[in-house]
Amino acid sequence: MAKLKDLRKNIDAIDLNILKLLNSRAKIVLDIKEAKKDNRLKVYSPTREREILNRIERLNTGPFPSDALIALYREILSTSRSLQQPLKIAYLGPSATFTHLAARKQFGSSAEYLPESTIKAVFESVARDKAQYGVVPIENSTEGVINYTLDVFMDLDLNIASEIMLKITHNLMSKTGSKRGIKKIYSHPQPIAQCRGWLEENYPGIPVIGSMSTAAAAKRVAKEPSSAAIASELAADIYKLKFIEKGIEDYKNNYTRFLVIAKDSPGRTGKDKTTIMFSVKDRPGALYSILKHFSKHKINLTKIESRPSRRKAWEYIFFADMEGHIEDIKVKKAVDEVKGECLYLKALGSYPSAE
């Protein structure tokens, strides 16, 4: 027992030292606030935050796990931002959606979160300065791209400031947490599709009903004891539900990519991604002619999608993601060459690549 008491005394001393260091850090953060104000710099800097997280992960020798350390530092950064200026973050709501979860992962618990009913409303919230940043889904690793997000970029003049990669885990939950007595299951159509095999095996014949969101499903189930919802762990916490089964998705390697939208884009980090949208002349080989410029400059295109322009029949807008920052010489050269062959081209932003 004496040894245990000594060890606990050591822990207490270390905790006191951590507390002192956190408050010393907070005082410097307040000095940074004044320096940023003098230089008219924004509170949130994805470039600087990525630099901090990469450095912490690189220097960690354990045994404290790196994943837990990064989560801890994200909260420290969130609190530091709130000391300078509380951030307002619009997201595709309601509360406890996966977009809400992604926003909290990026901005921490100290930001103010504003749920919006549509993706376009998130964009408008940022465009009208109701929020400094917005978070919207852009693609899922099993279900593909969210076309509506691409469409809104054509309507509103906003940039991509960052991206978030979130591992999607679907959970079946109810008020009681009992596997028996379930007469209906609610969720958004996308999670239903991603859990189809598990549902057919475990709840054959039980009606599976579509909802506006996983959060809306959880909210409804909180009032219906004989029903269950497929939703996130955050939904279970907010709506006081108990888990029937965790991780019911058919494919475990399931990720959704989200974009952080803003009125400007960050600087280079050395590990960046650039997104452009462009339209080409309607002629044979037009798209090939565009793509060869990226090949010539050895730029890796990680994605290319097309959407109807809605201005003219059979006219399309292309969206392309590429590795590198628009300030990188080879990226700038390639984009300038492509622009010369396009009817229209806009860089939607260069931003840190997600882990």
Among all chains, which residue has been given the structure tokens 């959704």? 256
DSSP-based three-state secondary structure for 191 = helix
CB of 125 closer than 8 Å to CB of 116:
yes
- How far from 201 is each of 153, 166, 195, 211, 252, CA to CA, in Å? 40, 27, 10, 22, 17
Residue 256 appears among annotated catalytic residues: yes
Q: Which residues of 88-113 are buried (b: 16+ CB within 10 A; e: fewer)?
A: bbbbbbbbbbbbbbbbbebbbebbeb
CB of 25 closer than 8 Å to CB of 32:
no
Omega of the bond leading into 94 within 30 degrees of 0 (cis): yes
- The tokens describing 86, both together, are 């509380």
Closest to 98 (Cα-Cα) out of 169, 196, 148: 169
Residue 75's region, left for phi above 0, alpha for psi from -120 to 50, else beta, is alpha
Sign of CA dihedral 68, 73, 79, 85: negative
Q: One of 107, 153, 258, 294 is an active-site residue; which one?
A: 258
User: d(Cα 326, Cα 163) in Å, to the nearest integer?
Assistant: 16
Omega of the bond leading into 204 within 30 degrees of 0 (cis): no
Residue 258 appears among annotated catalytic residues: yes
Q: One of 47, 97, 149, 256 is an active-site residue; which one?
A: 256
CB of 278 closer than 8 Å to CB of 318:
yes
Amino acid (1-letter code) at residue 227: S
* Strand order across the beta sheet in which 242-245 lies: 208-210, 184-187, 227-231, 171-174, 242-245
How far is Cα of residue 59 from the mean position of the Cα atoms in its chain?
A: 26
Report the catalytic residues: 256, 258
